[in-house]
Amino acid sequence: MKEQTQPTLIVLFGASGDLAERKLYPALYEIYKKNGNKPFVVIGCARRPWDHDQFRAFVESSLRETLDTESKGFLQRFFYYPLDVNHTDAYHELRDLVEQLDRDYHLKGNRLFYLALAPEYFSTVTLNLKEAHLTETNGWKRLIIEKPFGKDLTSAKALNDDICKVFMEDEIYRIDHYLGKEMVQNIQVIRFANPIFESIWNNRYIANIQITASETIGVGERAGYYDRTGALLDMVQNHILQMVALTAMEPPSRLETEDIRDEKVKVLRSIRPVTAECVADQIVRGQYTRGLLANSERAIAYREEDGIAHNSDTETFIAAKLYIDNFRWSGVPFYIRTGKRLKTKSTQIIVQFKNAPLNPYLRTFNGEEPNLLAIHVQPDEGLTLKLNAKRFTEKWDTMPITLDFCNNCSKEDYGSDAYERLINDCMHGDSTNFTRWDEVALSWEYVDGIIRAWREKPIPLNFYEAGSMGPYESDQLLKKDGCEWWPLMKLS
C-alpha cells in the first residue's frame, strides 16, 4: 500500500489557524525528525500579511519542544504566501512560488494540497487550484481535506462533485483523525489476528457492543461552529461510525486499501435506518447544564457559553442504539454515546459477551458477571479482558479478574500522533486510513435519516449536569433492554 518516501511540496491553506498550530506543525516536525532525507517543503497560505520569517516564528512557537540544532533546517523549509482564498488572481502568483520551490528543492512536481480551513472554502480553493493550473504537474497531486465534509448528504455531494472536477478519487484524502489513532487501527488486528476473538465475534456470542467517546471539554472557542452542528454531526457522522464499521466489518481478503474500505462500506450499508416510529426508542439527545467537573472546576451551562443562544437546543450529548442488519450482527445492539463536559475524557469500545447458558459456576452470590473486552482507544491505549475465576475459598464462588495490556503506559512506548501518521500516509500514497466517498455518503444517509425522524416526531432534549456521564435517559436507553453502560475501564 505504501510507496517509497518521495520529495513533496505541501501547500497548506489555513496556515495561521488553530488546527495547523496545534496539530499539523508538531506532526510535520515529527515526520521531519524521523526522515533523515528531509522529504518536504511547506508553503503556508493564510490571510495574515506575514513574511516567511514571521510565519517561521509562528511555526516554531507551535512546536511542543524547542528545536535542537540539528533540526534548525526544519523551519527553513517553510515559506509563506499571503492569500485571500476568494481572490482568483492570487493563485497564479502562488503557482510561481510553487514552481520555483519545486525547482530549487528538486521536488519532482509532487504536490500535496492541504485544506485546513473553514469548510465553506473547500470548493472555492479546490476549483481555484485548477483554474490557476496548480494541479497540472509532472509529479503526483493529492488533496487532504479536513472535516466536516458537508453538513448533510446533499451538501456533501455538491462538495464532492466540485473536488472531483479537480482530483480523482484516489487523489482525495478525506481526514477522519480517529483513523490515525493507534488503537483504532489496532481494531482490525485484535479481531482478525486472534482466532479466540474472531471465532466468537458474532451474534451467537456477543450480547452487545458499547462505543463511548466522552470528552470533558465544553465548546470552548468553537461556539459558532458547534451550535450549528451538535454532537450527532460533529462526532457520530464520522468518528463513531468509523469505529462501528471497523468493529463490525468482515475480514478483508487482502490487506489492500480498497478491500478494507469495501468491507467498511458493507457495514455502513447494513445499518438499519432510524425512522420516525423508532427514533424515540433509539436516540437520546442531551445538553449540559452547570456542574462540577472531575478536577473540581465549576462549569457553566452550554446555554451560558459565549456565542451560544440562551435557548439553544443543540445537543452536546447523544446516545443511540443501532442495529446492523446482516448475518453476523442480526439482533446485536450497538450502543453508542458521545458528549462534551462529561466526567472523563475517554474513548472505549466495550464488547459484552453472552453468558454461557445455565452455567452453574456463574450462579454465585455475585450474580452473573459477563466477559468483557474493552479496547481502550484513548487516553490510555490498550486492552482489558474481563473474565471470571474462582475465589480463594473452598466454595465455588467466582470473582471477576481483569487482564490488561497497555500500549502507552510507559513513555518510551509512545507512538505517533494521529496527524503524523495520516500526513505520512498521504505522502506515501496510502489512503487506507482516510474515508472514501461512499463511506462518507452512507454515513450521511444514516445521520440525515435520524434528523428527518426527529423533525417528524420531535424527541426531547434531556439535560445533564456537566461532570456527569450524560442524561438519565441515556441509562434508560439500555435499561429497557436489560443492559447497562459498563463503567469505563482504566489501564494500570
Q: Which residues are catalytic?
A: 239
Q: Are 371 and 386 in contact (CB under 8 A)?
A: yes
Cell of 468: 456527569
Site for ligand BG6 contains 215 (CB under 6 A): yes
Rounded Cα–Cα distance for residues 39 and 8 (Å): 6
Peptide bond into 379 cis (omega under 30): yes
Beta carbon of residue 294, minimum distance to ligand BG6 (angstroms, whole number)? 16
User: Are the CB atoms for 254 and 261 separated by under 8 Å?
Assistant: no
Contacting ligand BG6 within 42-61 (CB under 6 A)? none
Q: How far is the CB of 234 from ligand BG6 (least distance, A)?
A: 5
Q: Output the smallest distance, CB 478 to ligand BG6, in A.
A: 23
Smallest distance, Å, CB 215 to ligand BG6?
5
Q: Tell whether residue 315 is a contact of ligand BG6 (CB under 6 A).
A: no
Q: How many residues does the chain have?
A: 492
Least distance in angstroms from the C-beta of 313 to ligand BG6: 18
Q: Pick from 211, 214, 218: which is nearest to 240 by CA?
A: 211
Comparing CB distances to ligand BG6, the nearer of 289 and 347 is 347
State the SS3 of 215-265.
CCCCCHHHHHHHHHHHHHHHHHHHHHHHHHHHHHCCCCCCCCHHHHHHHHH
When asked if residue 227 is in the footprint of ligand BG6 (CB under 6 A), the reply is: no
Nearest residue to 429 via CA among 102, 98, 172, 137: 172
Report how far residue 319's alpha carbon sits from residue 245's, in angstroms, rounded to the nearest whole number.
Answer: 17
User: Taking the complex as a whole, how short is the minimal distance between the CB of residue 116 and ligand BG6, in angstroms?
Assistant: 13
Site string for ligand BG6, 321-350 (x = CB under 6 A): --------------------------x---
Burial of 209 (0-12, 13-18, 19+ CB in 10 A): buried
| Residue number with CB closer to ligand BG6 (377 or 489) | 377
Shortest distance, position 147 Cβ to ligand BG6, whole Å: 6
Q: Give me the least distance between CB of 2 and ligand BG6, in Å please.
A: 24
User: Mask: binding to ligand BG6, 131-160, rule CB under 6 A, as x and -?
Assistant: ----------------x-------------
CB of 405 to ligand BG6, least distance (A): 21
DSSP result, 327-340: TTTTT--EEEEEES
Give 271's DSSP letter: B
| Closest to ligand BG6 by CB, 234 or 448 | 234
Toward ligand BG6, which CB reaches closer, 94 or 349? 349
| String of DSSP letters for 372-397 | EEEEEEESS-EEEEEEEEE-SSSS--
Burial track 393-416 (b if 16+ CB lie within 10 A, e otherwise): eeeeebeeeeebebbbeeeeeeeb
H/E run at residue 320: strand 317-322
- The terminus-to-terminus CA distance of the chain in angstroms comes to 35
Nearer to ligand BG6, 114 or 353 (CB): 114
Q: Which is nearer to ligand BG6, 234 or 381 (CB)?
A: 234
Strand, helix or coil at 468?
strand
Among 102, 234, 425, 439, binds ligand BG6 (CB under 6 A): 234
List the one residue out of 182, 478, 201, 181 whose CA is nearest residue 487. Answer: 478
Between 30 and 234, CB nearer to ligand BG6: 234
Q: Could you tell me the smallest distance in angstroms from the CB atom of residue 222 to ligand BG6?
A: 7
- CA angle (292 as vertex; 308, 378 as ends), nearest 5: 85
Helix (H) or strand (E) holding 291: strand 291-292
In the numeric block, the cell 482490525 is attached to: 188
Judged by beta carbon, residue 206 or residue 243, the one nearer ligand BG6 is: 243
For ligand BG6, the closer CB: 243 or 372: 243
By CB under 6 A, what part of segment 345-384 binds ligand BG6? 347
**Which single residue brings its beta carbon nearest to ligand BG6?**
234
Residues 184-213 that bind ligand BG6 (CB under 6 A): none
Instruction: Report yes or no: 376 and 250 within 8 Å, Cβ to Cβ.
Output: no
Nearer to ligand BG6, 102 or 234 (CB): 234
Distances (CA, A) of 485 to 86, 332, 381, 461: 48, 15, 20, 20
Binding-site ranges for ligand BG6 (CB under 6 A): 147, 215, 234, 347
